[in-house]
Amino acid sequence: MASNTASRRWRRLGYYVDQTLVYLFVAGLVIAILGPYLWMVISSISTQSELLSVPPHWIPTEPTFQRYAALIFGPQPGQNLPVATDKFTSALLSSTVVSALTTLACIVFGSAAAYALTRLPFPGRRYFMIGVLGLQMLPIVVI
């Protein structure tokens, strides 16, 4: 009876160790995934001197939303634009135009291809559809 109780204790201890390892792994994964986003937000509200300091500051001593205000409202009178603000706005506009045109082209060509694949009979259609379905199951990097 005593060995049975000791066996239960060891199993329970093993369960807690396993759960602790799983939670530590998940916590590390969350930090690895969310860390770059946190650093991006921190660096966006830090001053230029804090960004260039060694070692880097995780919590800005003088947080500023000057970059956001300059992006949204433009520079204030007598104030210069923060570094690369003009490049950011032109890059944002270019990215928006390119992504909108790409989306429109994908919708037009994808709709035409989907209509042809589903409504028009042609030899090998079944095998082609199976191939398309199989390719959709793979990550785009593999293809």
H/E element, 4: helix 2-45
State pLDDT tens for residues 40-97: 999 888 888 888 888 877 888 888 888 788 777 777 777 766 666 777 878 889 999 9
H/E element, 51: helix 48-51
Six-digit token pair at 83? 């570094």
State pLDDT tens for residues 114-141: 898 889 888 988 899 899 889 989 888 8
CA dist 67 and 73 (Å) reads 10
The overall pTM is greater than 0.85: no
CA dist 81 → 63, 76, 78, 95, 116 (Å): 17, 9, 10, 21, 52
